Structure 1
Amino acid sequence: MCKALNAIEKSSSVAVATIFLPREPTTDLNYLHDIIRRHISLTLRFCERYLQREVTLFEENLVSDDPRCMVCTRTDLLIRTEAAMNGTTSDYYRRLIPCPECNLSFCCSPAHWEAARALHHAPCEETSGGMLSQCEMNREVRAQVNFDAFLAETMNLHGALIWAPVRTLSAWMSLEGLSWEGELSDEIRKSFGIPASLSTMPWIRAISDNLTMGMTILYALEKLNDGDAWTRKHTLTVHIIGAWVIEVACAIVFEEILHRLPEVNTLKLVLCGPEMPESRRAFEWDTCVECKQRGRKLIHEHVIATYHEFVQNSGSAFQPPDLCVAFNSGASQASKHTWPPTFELLVQRRIPTSFTSFDREEAEGEAALLRAAGATLHPALGPAKNPWGSMNPVPTPHQVYGFSASSGWLAGGFR
């Protein structure tokens, strides 16, 4: 892939990409993001011809992550290409100019920064409560990256912080009107010994990245059920579709479902997806001391298959779950070719279902696909911001404006 990207710099393909660039700076985000998609598509097609194979998702993300001018989408490479084409060698080494305050947004010239300044400093809908600007949110992102690095070093972590409260609530409590900070601050202080003088928000942001899965399942169950009889079932079954290694690595966060549903004895999770690391028959996952003492169980089953294949292969033995959930499925973008048969099956069998996405664009795309398959979407389950999505957003990689977060949006829920 490195050689393929290097070959692009010596190819006329880059010069062709400059045809898409706007003549004047603009803040029409739909137009700019469409240009970026064209440029990425052109780059990926070149790479696939060079490699003589399809690029992987990781390689695609590598191309999508290039810094770009906020109002014309130029990259360093496109600037150099244009300079070389025009023979302006004095500008040949000119590079993108980062915002001096956040260093995470860029423009290709002082004139383009003048055009971008108002947008960059205006309130951004996708930030915390829509109160922060892109620049302010970028600074919070940088601060969180530094905190996560500090956390990894002091706690000897080899990845993200995976944590869930160990306490069990005395009764089910509706999630309506609750918040991450209200639910986690006290528990985090106790668990990590954080003094009252320090904010717990950096910890909440880090923890919510994975705990969002457990909380989003509970939120969807509450919205898709009339009454609370589901909170008193002996066994609650959840099928996680499009599952991957992240759902296996973060198994502890699903125990929070048991901790918030004290009358449920057993939680059975079926992790189903073509990219699952391995298949395993039902087995019992280790739980906290209190759950063990009370005889409560967390059962896992792992299946390497698409969900419609799993249902078909199960035949008459298939038992509909209390909920099917897909986290950040990419169904409208990266994985759109694998999902349509699953959509149709979920709708036809009337299986309670919820999909989440990283950002608004993905959520609205998936909602359209679900409706096209015949689903009538629950108004609280998307497309809409997820109140229990990750509190740890990052700039959306293939755009010049906007943020995305793990399960940050609810794409659609139905039954």
Structure 2
Amino acid sequence: MQQERVPPLPARLGLACYKCYKEEDVRLSRCSGCLRISYCSSECQKIDWKNHKPMCKALSSIEKEPMAMATLFFSLPSEPTTDLNVLKNTTEAYGSNILNLCHRSLNRKATTAEFNLVGWEPRCMVCTRTNQLIRMEAAKNGTSPAKIHHLIPCPQCNLSFCCSPAHWDAARLLHNRPCEDGSSRSVSQCAMNRQVRTDVNFENTIAESHAPSGTFMWAPDRVLPSWSSLEGKTWDSEFADEMRGSVGVPTTLSMGPWVRGASDNLTMPMTILYGLEKLNEGDDGWTKKHTLTVHILGASTKELTGAMGFEEILHRLPEVKTLKLVLCGPEMPGGRIPQTISMETCPDCTRRGRKRIHEHACDTYHAFVQNKSTKYSKPDLCIAFTSGASQESTQTWPATFQLKIPSLFTAYNREEAAILRSGGAKLLPALGPKKNAWGSGKVIPEPNSVYGFYAVNGWLAGGFK
């Protein structure tokens, strides 16, 4: 059965219809209950009401709880501020409080789509007020509902908000100054937001044409004549021209959204290659091995659905005959007994007798190693994509670190990358913490925040031998 798309970012922000995702040439009406989402017609709202009703009622019920309201208002900054630490702490505390209140009302955990209505709720950039808080504040002060003004979006990007013109005056410098998450030092939050809108529109077009999931996947089908260092290269320099010819994009159009869309999957093989290059600096023997073995720790559906992209490793290493990937993680389908699967290769690789083998194991990596016992052999690289290695998995990663295998860990953002602990192994400065040149180019605004972005494998958290 086809899985329904999670509503894209504009729909979560009330800037597009939450059911059909249209935002152009439609008149949107905001849900009067939760004030978070909008619909283009009563028909779309009626169709979606069964799904939206539980969370809508949970969110609107918060306004009837005096203690909850007092807690939410207490955390607001007394004056507009551009202190990112204050804004971050305030929005995270607010989002956590809202989600806990919703869980209590729902009597269950929120679904991904429901969580998104909290995580990406529009907020004032300098005081963190939301539309709901503005309504609650107005009711508290006896203001007529007709005189309530909702958040004002930035007219350029439409993805950042303030609660008044005065607060926009305070926020403008922050909004337009260079953003540390940008692709270059000159890119502002406003420009990043506009890129996000472009990428969302691209995904919607792809979904309407041939990919109902909204996911664009592309990988080259050529084999390069020899290995070439990735140092100093970019997504555009390596893929843009080739992709233009492959998918038939006219020269009058930018390849930006196409390359960023493809990078969301190609980031996995390209980060593997970059990690191997840095861990073996000065020795290119790994590029000429008969069999190159990579173990992917904490693997899940992302690696399964993107399996096609891993052949890019073979395509950039023409002297390697067999690529063996071990996908190991508690979320992998199947049981603890590993399953070996022979994957298809492109006609050129098949003609040369080259192979790609995947082994799937539903287990933690250190348990996988123990179960293999004497049959275990160290791989050329262990890698954990966006692992949260020192947050969600603090109890399981240390045992893996102690194995002393050439390893690389990536992270979604700077904060996650900066707190990796390697169990005593010496981290290589070339592998982080730093931005990953081969992280996904498709960035997403941070949830429960008014500033900042994250990306799949956006940061290298650290690597060691």
TM-score, structure 1 as length reference: 0.92
Alpha-carbon distance, 1:53 to partner: 4.3
Residue 270 (str. 1) matches residue 326 (str. 2): yes
Amino acid at match of 2:411: S
**Which sits farther off after the overlay, 203-212 or 391-400?**
391-400
Give how far 1:94 is off: 2.3
Correspondence for 1:364: 418
1:177 and 2:217 equivalent? no
The yes-or-no answer on 1:328 pairing with 2:378 is no
Q: Deviations over 1:279-307 (max 9, x none)?
A: 46111011111111111111111122222
Alignment of 1:294-313 (within 5 A): 294-313=352-371
Aligned mates of 1:345, 1:57 — CA distance in 2: 30
Q: Give yes or no for the alignment of 1:240 onto 2:312.
A: no
Name the CA distance, whole Å, in 2 between partners of 1:82 and 1:51: 25
Q: Deviation digits for residues 226-263 of structure 1, max 9, x if unmatched? A: 41111111111111111111110110110000000111
Q: Secondary structure at the match of 1:407?
A: coil
The alignment status of 1:35 with 2:90, answered yes or no, reads yes
Cα displacement (A) at 1:71: 0.5
2:344 matched to 1:286?
Answer: yes
In the TM superposition, 1:219-258 aligns within 5 A as 219-226=274-281, 227-258=283-314
Q: What is the Cα deviation at residue 78 of structure 1?
A: 1.3
Instruction: Quote the residue 1:316 is aligned against.
Output: 374
Identify which of 450, 453, 462 aligns with 1:400.
450
Task: Specify which of 198, 204, 222 is matched with residue 253 of structure 2.
Answer: 198
Tell me the alpha carbon deviations over residues 79-106 of structure 1, each in whole angstroms, 9 at most, x when there is no partner.
Answer: 1122222223357732111111111000
| 1:212 lines up with 2:267 in the alignment | yes
SS at match of 1:340: coil
Answer whether contact 2:439 2:457 (CA < 8 A) is retained: yes
Q: Deviations over 1:336-387 (max 9, x none)?
A: 1x34332x2233211111111121122113x2xx14x323211111111101
Are the aligned partners of 1:15 and 1:78 in contact in 2 as well (CA < 8 Å)?
no
Tell me which residue corresponds to 1:351: 405
Give 1:70's match in structure 2, choosing from 117, 125, 137.
125
Matched, 1:125 2:175: no
Please state how far the C-alpha of 1:391 moved relative to its aligned partner.
1.3
1:377 aligned to 417, 427, 440, which one?
Answer: 427
Farther off after superposition, 44-53 or 125-134? 44-53
Which of 133, 145, 167 is equivalent to 2:200? Answer: 145
Cα separation, partners in 2 of 1:178 and 1:112, compared to 1, 3 Å: same
Alpha carbons 1:84, 1:92 under 8 Å: kept: no
- The structural deviation recorded for 1:327 is 1.2
CA contact (8 A) 1:174 1:222 kept: yes
Structure 1 distance, partners of 2:120, 2:196, is 16
Quick check: 324-333 or 26-35, which moved more? 324-333
SS for the counterpart of 2:363 is: coil
Root-mean-square deviation (CA, aligned residues, Å) is 1.9
Residue type of the partner of 1:248?
L
List runs of 5+ in structure 2 lacking aligned partners: 1-53
Q: Does 1:134 align with 2:192?
A: no
Letter in 2 for 1:140: Q
Task: Measure, in 2, the Cα distance between the counterparts of 1:305 and 1:240.
Answer: 12
Contact 1:327 1:407 in 2 (8 A): yes
Distance in 1 separating the partners of 2:134 and 2:415: 28
Equivalent position SS for 2:409: strand
* Partner Cα distance (1:246, 1:214) in 2: 13
Residue 399 (structure 1) shift: 1.4
| Aligned length, in residue pairs | 407
Contact 2:203 2:214 (8 Å CA) reproduced: no
Q: 1:7 to 1:273 in 2, by over 3 A?
A: farther
Distance 1:330 1:51, change over 3 A: farther
Find the residue that maps to 1:299 and give its secondary structure. Answer: strand
Matched residue SS, 1:70? coil
Farther-moved stretch of structure 1 (78-87 vs 399-408):
78-87
- In the other structure, the counterpart of 2:149 is 94
Higher share of residues assigned helix: 1
Identify which of 155, 158, 164 aligns with 1:109: 164
Deviates more, 1:70-79 or 1:323-332: 323-332
- The corresponding residue for 2:221 is 166
Whole-Å separation in 2 of the counterparts to 1:58 and 1:68: 18
Q: Secondary structure at the match of 1:413?
A: strand
For the residues of structure 2 that align with 1:221 and 1:374, how far apart are their CA atoms?
A: 21
With 390-399 and 169-178 compared, the bigger mean Cα shift is at 390-399
Task: Report if aligned partners of 1:73, 1:400 keep a CA contact under 8 Å in 2.
Answer: yes
Q: Give the distance between the partners of 1:351 and 1:247, measured in 2 at CA.
A: 21
